[in-house]
């Protein structure tokens, strides 16, 4: 299970360790090896251009990159309000454009089985893919925080004689 937290220019991806307890149906072994983080490139159509961002796998077994989980493993698992899942890992995607859509996902992969000639298997990038729009959270308490929205000129005269024919001269200012 994954949880997404959005900020301006940043997406934080949290995930649990359910995949680490899965049993391979062919070998009957718990052969979990690691996680891969994917993100789409910036663009209109996000699904077909998802690409691998990072890989984290068990160290010292000559499978994958042997990088371990230190970079993403949290000191203590975290939970979120209204969600009882304990999340053990976190990865931040930074330097994103706020207000633009991206697709992010985390996959798990196993070590494969050399004896049976089975390559490493990976969950689909679509299994937990999430469409995200990084940015500042919306303000839900307008006026309660001491700030109010204003518009100048107000009221706006759509057909005033002094506006002239040039639409580019007519402007609304929000403050």
Domain-embedded: residue 100: yes
Predicted TM-score of the model (pTM): 0.76
* pLDDT digits 0-9 by tens, 94-113: 999 988 889 999 999 998 88
- Round to whole Å and give the CA distance between 53 and 103: 12
Q: What is the pLDDT of residues 130-154, one digit of tens each?
A: 999 898 877 677 666 677 777 776 6
Q: Is residue 158 part of a domain?
A: no
Residue-number span of the structural domain to which 77 is assigned? 2-132
DSSP 113: B
Q: CATH number for the domain including 7?
A: 2.60.40
Taking the CA atoms of residue 84, residue 87, residue 90 and residue 92 in that order, the dihedral angle to the nearest 10 degrees is -10
């Amino acid at each position: 299970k994954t949880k997404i937290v959005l900020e301006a220019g940043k997406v934080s991806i949290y995930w649990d360790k359910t995949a680490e307890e899965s049993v391979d149906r062919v070998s009957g072994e718990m052969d979990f090896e690691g996680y891969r983080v994917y993100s789409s490139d910036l663009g209109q159509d996000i699904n077909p251009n998802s690409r691998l961002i990072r890989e984290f796998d068990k160290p010292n077994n000559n499978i994958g990159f042997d990088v371990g989980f230190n970079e993403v493993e949290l000191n203590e698992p975290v939970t979120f309000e209204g969600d009882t899942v304990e999340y053990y890992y976190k990865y931040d995607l930074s330097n994103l454009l706020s207000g633009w859509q991206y697709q992010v996902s985390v996959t798990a992969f196993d070590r494969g089985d050399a004896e049976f000639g089975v390559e490493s298997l990976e969950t689909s990038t679509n299994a937990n893919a999430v469409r995200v729009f990084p940015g500042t959270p919306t303000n839900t308490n307008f006026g309660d925080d001491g700030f109010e929205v204003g518009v100048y000129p107000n009221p706006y005269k759509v057909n005033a004689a002094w506006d002239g024919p040039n639409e580019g001269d007519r402007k609304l200012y929000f403050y």
